[in-house]
Chains A and B, each alone.
Chain A
Amino acid sequence: MDVLFDGLVDAIGLLLSGDRDTWSIIALTLRVSLTATAIAILIGLPLGALVALARFPGRRIVLAAANTGMGMPPVVVGLFVTVLLWRSGPLGGLGLLYTPTAMIIAQSAIATPVVVALVAAALQQVDPDFRVQMRALGATPVRAFAALLGEARLPLLAGAMAAFGAVVSEVGAAQMVGGNLAGQTRVLTTAAVLATSQGQFSLSIAFGLILLLIAFGVNLSLTLVQQRRTVPR
């Protein structure tokens, strides 16, 4: 219990003291995970919508692949991205390995299947005639699609939360493609792993608690948007 308590005290101390290293780790964690989530949504939303609404050969295979991707170990994604970005790899010339960009690429790859699968599920649970009905009231195809997104707002935001949760909490890919370089690619999860390996349990717990706080803050914001009640029942 002492270790836990010390960890809590350390966490508050690190946050309040304005420790530069800690705040840069927090800032990088937010930058990498939020950017990766945003990219995953940009790719996953249209792809998930296509899988949910269009009929094309191989549609079910794409959906099954996305569902499989939801359970893909981050370390496997990290391995693939490392091989791609390795100096002698196909994208080695870009010099991205061990940079935040590499971490964003890996985390986007982890989050995109989550978004695709959950967007497809969210849109498929709305009445299949919803867009027809909207178009039959004068909506353009774009407005009918926007109305559909509004209708599926709750499960869509749940998908965004799941994607953010998947990337902010993963350590394998961030470690492999980022290298946990102090001041450059160190994020809260890799910092917590390093602190634990060095026996600095209270520091490790402090990082863990800060990570929890960030995850809670982001999810609270999304939940408040999701559960906003506009109509008295």
Chain B
Amino acid sequence: MSAGIGCRDLRVHAGGRELLSVPELHVASGRTLAVLGPNGAGKSTLLRALGLLSSHRVSGRIVLDGRPATRPLMRQALAAVLQRPILRRGTVADNVISGLRFRGMSRREARTEAWPWIEALGLESLVGRDARSLSIGEAQRVSITRALAAGPRVLLLDEPFSGLDSTTRADLLADLRAALTGQPTATILVTHDRQEALALAEDTALLIDGRIRQHGSTAEVLDHPSDAGTARLLGYTNLLPPALTGRAHTLVARPEHTQLVLDPSDQTDDVRGTLRRTVALGSATRVDVDTSAGALTCLHLGDVLATELPPIGSDVRVRIRHARSLTS
């Protein structure tokens, strides 16, 4: 097996319950894998098990650069960013160099080694600041810089952008993408956000209920759900069974590709239902429609005048502009 991190027959148990079961996974050096899953799917459990950081009962093999991973080997290779930035007392600079200090480097050497990362992540003006006085966004930026400065061969990112405002998140995402490019690091990003996976990862694995349901290139995985569970995770929240569409397989569609037919002269063969409610969301209008096979959500981007919409309870037609077929 090539350089990078992976596992075989990985299982994690806690309280007599199996939290995770992953037969095989490998992330090569220089590549980023996004592990996408809903809350409670076992994403952080997987990340911690791979980093030999788990407090649960773990069985199976963790493989680091083709060899069975031991704690000393992993210590030399690993850096992680957790969901909450956990910084130590002291300055931002003290925090950024702490990974290098743990690896035995002198303070002076560590500062020299870390400086390019401080510049790359735009922390020059904060180096002398007390880490406890930082905003959550600044603290997470320090946490990410600290992990990168340690020069890890394996970088584990546990939802590092959750809890950040959208501007901070977008900036940090771009800076991290730029920092990772060209680095010989095997990176695993745990997230529930598709945009983060798209921005950072070449490959994506979908984790639901402790099991990897899909794994492949990010573009392919994000746009080709294989079952109802992965479809929901990927935003294909409208499920259209064969009884509703007359097709051989169930179709799934995103709300933004599902729209109410507002022109009565348009007589295309559409899905029929009853209008349950309409909600103005500012830049879009959400329309919920009940059909014989369940509820559908339509999202009309831009302004839709209230007068254009039929009254609640009336019979309506819904058009699916783009759908994927579930074959399993």
Contact = CB atoms under 8 A, between A and B. Distances in A.
A231 B48 contact: no
15 contacts: A129-B84, A133-B82, A136-B53, A136-B80, A136-B82, A137-B79, A137-B80, A137-B146, A139-B102, A140-B75, A143-B102, A153-B89, A231-B128, A231-B129, A232-B130
Given A136-B80, A136-B156, 13 more contacts: A127-B84, A132-B48, A134-B98, A135-B53, A135-B75, A137-B99, A138-B79, A140-B75, A140-B102, A153-B89, A230-B90, A231-B89, A231-B128
A146 B53 CA distance: 18
A108 to B, nearest CB: 30
Nearest to A134: B102
A138 B89 contact: no
Given A127-B86, A139-B102, A133 B78 contact: no
Which of A138, A140, A147, A153 has the largest number of chain B CB atoms within 10 A?
A: A138
A138 B102 contact: yes
Most B CB contacts (10 A, CB to CB) among A132, A134, A233 go to A132
Interface string B61-76: 0000000000000011
Interface in A96-135: 127, 129-130, 132-135
Given A129-B84, A137-B79, A231 B102 contact: no
Nearest to A126: B86
B322 interface: no
Contacts of B131: 231
B237 to A, nearest CB: 33
A151 B89 contact: yes
A143 B131 CA distance: 20
A134 B143 CA distance: 11
A150 interface: yes
Contact of B80 (A130, A133, A231): A133
B99 A233 contact: no
Nearest to B86: A133
B150 interface: yes
B88 A151 contact: yes
Given A129-B82, A129-B86, A130-B86, A138 B53 contact: no
B135 to A, nearest CB: 14
B144 to A, nearest CB: 12
A132 B53 contact: yes
Given A147-B88, A151-B88, A232-B128, A138 B82 contact: no
A113 to B, nearest CB: 28
B242 to A, nearest CB: 47
If over half of B's interface residues share one DSSP class (helix, strand or loop), that class is named, otherwise mixed; here it is: mixed
A136 B130 contact: no
Contacts of B76: 138
A136 B156 CA distance: 9
B102 to A, nearest CB: 4
Interface string A138-163: 11100100010011010000000000
Contacts of A136: 51, 53, 78-80, 82, 156
Interface centre among B88, B131, B156 (most CB of A within 10 A): B88
Interface in B74-111: 75-76, 78-80, 82, 84, 86, 88-91, 98-99, 102-103
Contact of B102 (A129, A132, A137): A137
B234 interface: no
B102 A233 contact: no
B120 to A, nearest CB: 18
B155 to A, nearest CB: 10
Nearest to B149: A137
Contacts of A231: 89-91, 128-131
Nearest to A136: B80
B147 interface: yes
A133 B160 CA distance: 13
A133 B144 CA distance: 12
A194 B51 CA distance: 64
Interface string A31-51: 000000000000000000000
A136 B85 CA distance: 13
A140 B79 CA distance: 13
A54 to B, nearest CB: 11
Contacts of B82: 129, 132-133, 136
A214 B75 CA distance: 46
B50 to A, nearest CB: 11
B133 interface: yes
Most chain-B CB neighbours within 10 Å: which of A133, A135, A233?
Answer: A133
